[in-house]
Amino acid sequence: MPTTTTKESEIMEFLHQRVFDPILNSTTVIPSAKTGIRYTIMRMNRLKAKKMVGYFWNAIAGTHKSIQFAELLKNENLPRFEDIIEEFRVRFTNSWLTK
């Protein structure tokens, strides 16, 4: 029986490949980066696809906390949402969300 991929799982798989897993699987990453990524995953896993996309864009637009976290990742040469904007924008469009 084929496995059905939900929009939520597709978004999370993409983010795991591009941002989350490279940080979580590293043995040299500072603990606060891993903690922040785990928190982001936990928050996003509670959302429906449309809200996940909104969460991504809100993190890019930046709250005080998300801006500080993005700077931390940048200073550590770790992948960030900001690094995958183009791919994310092309892949997770409004038309994709509604089909």
Q: Which helix (H) or strand (E) holds 83?
A: none
pLDDT in tens, 14-73: 999 999 999 999 999 999 999 999 999 999 999 999 999 999 999 999 889 999 999 999
Question: 0.85 cut: is pTM over it?
Answer: yes
Instruction: Yes or no: say if 30 and 76 are a contact pair by the CB < 8 Å rule.
Output: yes
Judged against a pLDDT cut of 70, whether residue 86 lies above it is answered with yes
> pLDDT at position 26, please?
94
Q: At residue 11, does pLDDT exceed 90?
A: yes
Q: Give long-range contacts, CB 8 A cutoff, 24+ apart: 83-89.
A: 83/18, 83/19, 84/18, 84/19, 85/60, 87/14, 87/18, 88/14, 88/56
User: Any idea where the domains of the chain sit in the sequence?
Assistant: 7-22+31-98
Neighbouring CB atoms inside 10 A of 62's CB total 13
Q: Which of 13, 21, 35, 14 is nearest to 84 (CA)?
A: 14
pLDDT value, residue 63: 86
